[in-house]
Amino acid sequence: MTGWAGLLALILIWSAVGYRSWSLLRHPRGTIAWAWWRSLFALAGAVSLFYPPGYNAAYSLLNIPNVAELVGHWLILISGWQAAAVLIFLAYGNEPVVARRMLWRRGMLVLATLAVATYFFIRIPAETNTTKFTTVYADAPFINHYWITYLVAVNILQADIARLFMSYSMKSTREALRIGLRIIALGVLVGSLYWMHWIAFLIFQNSTGETPEWIELWGAVAAVSAVLLVVIGSTIPVWGRHVGLRGPLTTWREFRALNKLTPLWEALTTEIPDIALQESGADTLSYRLYRRRVEILDGILALRPYRDPDAEQRLRAQLGEQSIEADQVDARVEAAMIEHALNARRLGQPAGRPASGATQVSVREDVAWLCTLSREFARLQTRNAEGR
């Protein structure tokens, strides 16, 4: 990588390494944190070697032409292996035998690739050190063997890493970590586009002997974008939780849930205004959803003296004869009992034998089920209004 793209990638990746190093020195962490640090450090080393000053410095130090090319590719594979280790340790922390086996298999792939790629690299007759190694030696013997060996392994490893990151992000309950993992997975996939650009380069070189300018632009954009996404994603779990970072999908789900709860919430707060909590004026969407859930539960609890257990039993038996799923039956019964209790409260007629024990709402307090209950309540109100 040269020019602005290489310099920007260098600054970004070493900033991430410095930040993670500072974080580890202040708060010593376990195996996972160190594996992630090793992954970033290896990636930073590779980016440094691919930048012209680093590339030439490696040659001056070891007096081996183009050694930076080979070692840089080693570091890319090691970085990917350690990134996979992070997710393996996270997902299989309680199964160390399984974790070690998975890590060993990936390590063997990296080791075998290093050995085979190094053999082909040694066979390439490249006696002049040049930062345009692949361009200058595009027609040299074994150059295609070298690149095919490396590109197959690196793309397999990167696809596996992206899969692991996405898989674990779906299991994580920490919003900032989930967002960070998905951004890293995206960065890994974009990184594959960088390696794909070398495949396109070799195809053009071997077929026409010329390379279009857009190939170089493709590589520069893909490289910088990949590094930028990995750097941002790796730091989000640290600072994201402090600023209350929310993903767009989570925000959309909370917004939809808030709207779905509106019919039931409005009916309860209108009839029982005391359950409405005081608003601060700066409530986040997440907190508003939490408040609405609490207010609905408080409202249903306040209606317990007006719930008729006999009416509930009759309605449940009636719905049980129909081909309706159990959750749907529970929601419809609960919606009907809430409407019945609201009407009884307006008339000042408590139930002769108030309901005792847990209601469906106290058993199923999750927002998703309350949304279903609110939908059934709105449907019941609409049907009753049309029947008047």
pLDDT score at 353: 66
Block residue for tokens 């002049």: 128
pLDDT score at 357: 46
CA atoms within 13 A on the CB side of 331: 22
Helix (H) or strand (E) holding 212: none
> What is the C-alpha to C-alpha distance for residues 29 and 9, in angstroms, rounded to an integer?
27
Domain with CATH 1.20.1070.10 in the chain: 3-245
Beta carbons of 76 and 49 less than 8 angstroms apart: no
CA 151 remoteness from chain centre:
26
pLDDT score at 340: 85
Secondary structure (3-state) at 41: helix
Secondary structure (3-state) at 48: helix
Block residue for tokens 């590719």: 73
> What is the C-alpha to C-alpha distance for residues 377 and 388, in angstroms, rounded to an integer?
17
Q: Give the amino acid at 8.
A: L
Could you name the CATH architecture of 3-245?
Up-down Bundle (1.20)
One pLDDT digit (tens) per residue for the chain, 388 residues: 556 666 777 787 888 888 778 877 777 667 778 888 888 899 899 889 988 889 999 999 999 999 999 999 999 899 989 888 887 887 777 788 888 888 898 899 999 999 999 999 999 998 889 988 887 887 888 988 898 898 888 888 888 888 887 877 776 667 777 788 888 888 888 888 887 887 787 778 777 767 777 887 887 788 788 878 887 887 777 676 656 666 666 777 778 888 889 899 998 988 888 888 776 655 677 778 888 888 888 888 888 888 887 777 888 777 766 666 766 788 888 888 888 888 888 888 887 666 554 455 544 567 888 888 888 888 888 877 665 5
Task: Return the DSSP state at 93.
Answer: T
* H-type alpha helices, the chain: 3-26, 31-50, 52-62, 67-91, 96-123, 133-136, 143-171, 175-207, 213-243, 248-260, 262-271, 285-302, 309-320, 326-347, 360-363, 367-387
pLDDT score at 112: 94
Question: How many residues are recorded in the chain?
Answer: 388
Residue (of 308, 317, 295, 313) closest to 361 by Cα position: 295
Structure tokens at 85: 């280790």
How many other C-beta atoms are found inside a 10 Å radius of the C-beta of residue 29?
12
Beta carbons of 52 and 131 less than 8 angstroms apart: yes
